[in-house]
Amino acid sequence: MPRGLSHRLEKYGSRIPASLGVVFISVFAATASIPIAQVLMVVLNGEIIENSVLVIVITSFTVSIPILIFIFHTIQSLVASRAHLAETRNELQARIVELAAARAEAEEANAAKSVFLAQMSHELRTPLNAVMGFSEVLMHREFVNPNMTMDDVANYGDMINHSGNLLLSLVNDVLDISKIEAGKLQLSPEPVRLGHAIETVCDCIIVMAAARGSRIKFDRHFDDFELMIDRRALDQMLLNLLSNAVKFSPDNSEIAVRLHLDNQKFSISVINPGKGMTPDEISKAVEPFAQLSSAMIASQKGTGLGLTIVRSLIELEGGELLIESTPDVETTVAIHYPIHSVINTQYSAVSNA
């Protein structure tokens, strides 16, 4: 039905009482029935009989019935069409709202990616400049500093190594999130002794923590506890969680690694004091790129993809990432492995004794 016609039917149909239409049709049927009745009377009697009025009334009633039925169905159809038009209009309005929300979300994501690229350019350029600068000093030390000692060479080498590791970490983050989003990251489960894994990661973070006077504490009762998981994924998740905990904690803080086992899951939690996050910041922190809108996180070194990678990796393991934070008190980030990942329940038996 053309849009203009449907609009006029909807506009004027609601103004015409249904009873008026029925009266009009009845009058039309009665008028049309007169010549029909006359024809019938001529056929029956050959002339107009005295009871012609009764014949006209009966004939008019007989002719009106199908017409009234037709009108009744027509009115029903118009009412149904009007209801359908109203429903369609509501659906279109809802769709417009959804499209507007999707467009706003896409624009926000595009802006966040632009911020991410700008941040990445800065993060990549800074250590690369250090590598280039210190290596040139070593290459031309006779012109830059003829009195350079072996200690100076060692310090420059350390700076180059540190900057190179930072570059590698940045590139690995980007490559990992790309693999995860493309569905090409494959896990290789193996028996992992939890105590040794945590200690190894803590050794990697201890220098970073010591530079800020912080320390890392974890429960040694789980030293011999074993999980059937991907070791590289565990190391990467713990590195991301512990490095975040150190970065976002005040100086001279204590960062705790706590472990918990119940009938449904095995949990590794990293707890650190500090500014914390609001619920809105928590929801954004695990989304790729969106977390860079936070000035606190954007001011830190790195890609800002750490929690996104942690969530993706633990979900590939069949687990989940949970974040609880009290602003200006502490933040707890926990990875929950499913209970079937546990292959050594000795600690469970000891802890329940």
299 DSSP 8-state letter: T
pLDDT at 213 over 60: yes
**Is residue 89 pLDDT above 70, yes or no?**
yes
* Cα→Cα distances 111→115, 293, 312, Å: 6, 10, 23
The answer to whether the CB of 294 falls within 8 A of the CB of 281 is: yes
pTM higher than 0.85: no
Question: Is pLDDT at 263 greater than 60 in this prediction?
Answer: yes
Tell whether the model's pLDDT for residue 44 goes beyond 60: no
> Does the structure show a pLDDT above 60 at 45?
no
- Report pLDDT for 315: 92
- Pairwise pLDDT comparison (293 vs 303), residue with the higher score: 303
Neighbour count for residue 25 (Cβ, 10 Å): 16
- Across the range 248-272, mean pLDDT stands at 90
Confidence at 334, pLDDT banded by 50, 70, 90: very high
User: What does residue 83 show for φ and ψ, rounded to 5 degrees?
Assistant: -65, -40
| pLDDT of 12 above 60 | no
The fold of the 110-182 domain, in CATH, is Helix Hairpins (1.10.287)
The residue written with tokens 């980030």 in the block is 333
Tell me which of 48-57, 191-200, 215-224 is least confident: 48-57
| Residue written as token pair 């028996």 | 191
List the one residue out of 281, 290, 335, 291 whose CA is nearest residue 312. 335
Q: Check pLDDT > 90 for residue 39.
A: no
Contact 259, 219 (CB under 8 A): yes
The C-alpha atoms of residue 270 and residue 323 are separated, in whole angstroms, by 10
pLDDT at 299: 45
CATH class entry, domain 190-351:
alpha beta
Collect all residues with Cβ–Cβ distance below 8 Å to 206 and sequence separation of at least 6.
216
Q: What pLDDT is attached to residue 174?
A: 78
Q: What is the DSSP letter of 221?
A: G
> What pLDDT was estimated at residue 23?
53
pLDDT tier, 284 (very low <50, low <70, confident <90, very high otherwise): confident
Q: What is the Cα–Cα distance from 321 to 343, expressed in whole angstroms?
A: 21
| Over residues 199-223, mean pLDDT | 83
End-to-end CA distance of the chain: 78
| Residue partners of 53: CB distance under 8 A and separation at least 6 | none
Token reading at 285: 């922190």
Strand order through the sheet with 215-218: 215-218, 254-261, 265-273, 330-338, 320-326
Q: Token pair 């040694």 is at which residue? A: 220
Of 229, 224, 232, the closest CA to residue 342 belongs to 229
Decide: 282 and 269 in contact? Cβ < 8 Å: no
Q: Provide the pLDDT for residue 297.
A: 45
Among positive and negative, which fits the CA dihedral 259, 238, 177, 100? Answer: positive
Q: Mean pLDDT, to the nearest integer, of 93-115?
A: 84
So where are the chain's domains? 3-105, 110-182, 190-351
Residue among 18, 9, 10, 8 at smallest CA distance from 75: 18
For residue 218, pLDDT beyond 70: yes
User: What average pLDDT does range 7-18 have in this prediction?
Assistant: 46
Q: Is a pLDDT exceeding 90 seen at residue 264?
A: no
Nearest to 238 by CA among 276, 200, 274, 272: 200
Q: Kindly tell me the burial class for residue 97, based on how many C-beta atoms sit within 10 Å of its own C-beta (0-12, 13-18, 19 or more).
A: exposed
Looking at 5-9, 143-147, 243-247, which range is the least confident one? 5-9
What is the arithmetic mean of pLDDT over 197-207? 85
Q: Is pLDDT of 55 > 50? A: yes
Long-range CB pairs of 16-21, under 8 A, 24+ apart, other chains included: 18/75, 21/71, 21/75
Q: How far apart are CA 113 and CA 106, in angstroms?
A: 10
- pLDDT surpassing 70 at residue 293: no
DSSP label at residue 275: S
